């Protein structure tokens, strides 16, 4: 049952949709994944879920997009569920200050990635989830968690995006083999990477994404997939590491935990208040959605949702 409608919130979303379309400062879609490079950047959607069950959207909120690195949040939830705190022996919890696919710190830090949201850390996280079983079972667990958190079984993987990334993903292959050389992969690099590329190719709408974030927002009525204590920790990682070397900038502008993906999606959490899904496929130079980040800042300001 949804609660009373918040007309100020709906008005803010409608205005933000209009503002980003008027500004038309879209950025460019990710170029290194051919399936994503072809997407028209002049697109925008935003959806918000509140604890009383009310839902709000503006723009193209029923268009599915590739969630890419936002999947790292759900894979982390799955991996922590499977191996618990032992995961932190293999991956750290510090911001990297480097780009999402950087190899620089792996050399000096002996194959232990800085955090689960840079690609190297996400590959290790997926490997922990995969260990000792077939990729389809690990993938079924990730997608099962996404569906449960979103209360929606109509969420799927676009295998053509996974194939597109596999064909061109030399950088991720290098990262996986480097991790393997340090003994930080349990499975063959190709198996772990195949699983990782498929999890990144999950497609969702902004409304499905906002619903999937309700547990992270700590809503009492969210599906009970994620204990509150774990939600707090994942929000902390999203705040400090969710936007790669643009994480400080995102915290400065938006003041909320968030996770971006190179498909142009953003999952933003206002703890105890709102779960927000945003999509606009053009990226800034960090690889984060340009209009999406602008929209998150406008919304946080309009609703006074910053945690600071
Ligand atoms: N699948 C992408 C990659 O590994 C995810 C990166 C992102 O969304 O930031 O390069």
Residue 77's CATH number: 3.40.710.10
Tell me whether residue 72 is one of the annotated catalytic residues.
Answer: yes
65 DSSP β-pair partners: 204
Residue after which a domain boundary falls, among 179, 200, 221: 200
Nearest to 222 by CA among 87, 77, 22, 110: 77
Q: Measured in whole angstroms, how far is the alpha carbon of residue 168 from the centre of its chain? A: 21
The rounded Å distance from CA 51 to ligand 1 centre is: 30
Number of domains making up the chain: 2
Residues 153 and 208 in one domain: no
Residue after which a domain boundary falls, among 200, 218, 252: 200
Using one digit for the tens of pLDDT, what is the confidence trace for 236-289? 999 999 999 999 999 999 999 999 999 999 999 999 999 999 999 999 999 999
Q: Which atom of ligand 1 is nearest to the CA of 119?
A: 4
Residues 253 and 187 in one domain: no
Residues 196 and 209 in one domain: no
**What confidence score (pLDDT) does residue 103 get?**
86
Please indicate, yes or no, if residue 118 is contained in any of the structural domains.
yes
Please indicate, yes or no, if residue 94 is contained in any of the structural domains.
yes
Please indicate, yes or no, if residue 34 is contained in any of the structural domains.
yes
Please indicate, yes or no, if residue 1 is contained in any of the structural domains.
no
Please indicate, yes or no, if residue 246 is contained in any of the structural domains.
yes
Give the tokens for residue 223: 């599906």
Catalytic residue (one of 47, 61, 66, 69) = 69
Residues 93 and 165 in one domain: yes
Question: Can you give the pLDDT of all 308 residues of the chain as single tens digits?
Answer: 456 688 999 999 999 999 999 999 999 999 999 999 999 999 999 999 999 999 999 999 999 999 999 999 999 999 999 999 999 999 999 999 888 888 888 888 899 999 999 999 999 999 999 999 999 999 999 999 999 999 999 999 999 999 999 999 999 999 999 999 999 999 999 999 999 999 999 999 999 999 999 999 999 999 988 999 999 999 999 999 999 999 999 999 999 999 999 999 999 999 999 999 999 999 999 999 999 999 999 999 999 999 99
Residues 195 and 258 in one domain: no
Q: How far apart are alpha carbons 111 and 180 in whole angstroms? A: 8
CB 117 within 8 A of CB 237: yes
Please indicate, yes or no, if residue 2 is contained in any of the structural domains.
no
Q: How far apart are alpha carbons 52 and 55 in whole angstroms? A: 9
Please indicate, yes or no, if residue 48 is contained in any of the structural domains.
yes
Residues 40 and 133 in one domain: no
Residues 182 and 105 in one domain: yes
Tell me whether residue 56 is one of the annotated catalytic residues.
Answer: no
Q: How far apart are alpha carbons 226 and 213 in whole angstroms? A: 10
Residues 40 and 154 in one domain: no
Residues 60 and 208 in one domain: yes
Residue 106 sits in which domain range? 69-200
CB 255 within 8 A of CB 306: yes
Q: How far apart are alpha carbons 117 and 73 in whole angstroms? A: 8
172 lines ligand 1 (CB under 6 A): yes
Q: Which atom of ligand 1 is nearest to the CA of 172?
A: 4
141 lines ligand 1 (CB under 6 A): no
126 lines ligand 1 (CB under 6 A): no
**What confidence score (pLDDT) does residue 2 get?**
58
303 lines ligand 1 (CB under 6 A): no
Q: Choose which residue among 65, 69, 158, 165 to substitute to test ligand 1 binding: the one with the highest number of ligand atoms within 8 A of its C-beta.
A: 69
Strands 274-279 and 65-66: unpaired
Catalytic residue (one of 187, 262, 268, 290) = 262
**What confidence score (pLDDT) does residue 1 get?**
43
The pTM of the full predicted model, rounded to 2 decimals, is 0.97
Residues 116 and 147 in one domain: yes
Number of residues in the chain: 308
Give the tokens for residue 271: 């703890």
Please indicate, yes or no, if residue 308 is contained in any of the structural domains.
no
Residues 168 and 86 in one domain: yes
HEC secondary structure over the chain: CCCCCCHHHHHHHHHHHHHHHHHCCCCECCCCCHHHHCCCCCCCEEEEEECCCCEEEEECCCCCEECHHHHHHHHHHHHHHHHHHHHHHCCCCCCCCCCCCCCHHHHHCCCCCCCCCCHHHHHHHHHHHHCCCCHHHHHHHHHHHHHHHHCCCCCEECHHHHHHHHHHCHHHHHHHHHHHHCCCCCCCHHHHHHHHHHHHCEEECHHHHHHHCCCCCCCCCCCCCCCHHHHHHHHHHHHHHCCHHHHHHHHHHHCCCEEECCCCEEEEEECCCEEEEEECCCECCCCCEHHHHHHHHHHHHHHCCCCC
Query: Which residue's structure tokens are 């997407």?
Result: 39
Residues 36 and 149 in one domain: no
Tell me whether residue 69 is one of the annotated catalytic residues.
Answer: yes
Q: Provide the 10 A C-beta neighbour count for residue 131.
A: 15
Residue after which a domain boundary falls, among 173, 200, 227: 200
Using one digit for the tens of pLDDT, what is the confidence trace for 193-227? 999 999 999 999 999 999 999 999 999 999 988 99
């Amino acid at each position: 049952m949804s609660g009373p409608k918040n007309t100020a919130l709906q008005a803010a979303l409608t205005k933000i949709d209009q503002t980003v379309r008027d500004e038309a400062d879209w950025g460019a879609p990710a170029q290194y994944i051919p399936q994503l490079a072809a997407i028209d950047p002049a697109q925008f959607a935003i959806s918000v879920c509140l604890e009383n069950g009310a839902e709000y959207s503006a723009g193209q909120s029923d268009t599915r997009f590739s969630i890419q690195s936002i999947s790292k949040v759900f894979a982390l939830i799955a991996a922590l569920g499977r191996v618990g705190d032992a995961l932190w022996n293999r991956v750290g919890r510090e911001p990297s200050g480097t780009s999402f696919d950087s190899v620089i710190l792996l050399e000096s830090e002996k194959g232990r990635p800085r955090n689960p949201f840079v690609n190297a850390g996400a590959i290790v996280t997926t490997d922990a989830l995969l260990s000792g079983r077939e990729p389809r079972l690990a993938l079924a667990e990730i997608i099962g968690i996404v569906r449960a958190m979103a209360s929606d079984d109509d969420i799927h993987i676009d295998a053509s995006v996974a194939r597109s990334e596999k064909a061109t993903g030399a950088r991720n292959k290098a990262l996986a083999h480097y991790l393997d050389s340090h003994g930080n992969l349990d499975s063959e690099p190709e198996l772990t990477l195949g699983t990782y590329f498929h999890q990144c190719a999950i497609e969702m709408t902004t409304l499905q994404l906002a619903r999937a974030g309700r547990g992270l927002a700590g809503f009492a009525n969210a599906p009970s997939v994620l204990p509150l204590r774990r939600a707090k920790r994942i929000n902390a990682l999203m705040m400090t590491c969710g936007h790669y070397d643009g994480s400080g900038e995102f915290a400065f502008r938006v003041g909320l935990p968030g996770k971006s993906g190179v498909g142009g999606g953003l999952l933003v959490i206002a703890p105890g208040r709102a779960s927000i899904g945003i999509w606009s496929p053009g990226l800034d130079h960090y690889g984060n959605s340009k209009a999406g980040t602008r929209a998150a800042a406008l919304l946080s300001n309009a609703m006074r949702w910053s945690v600071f």
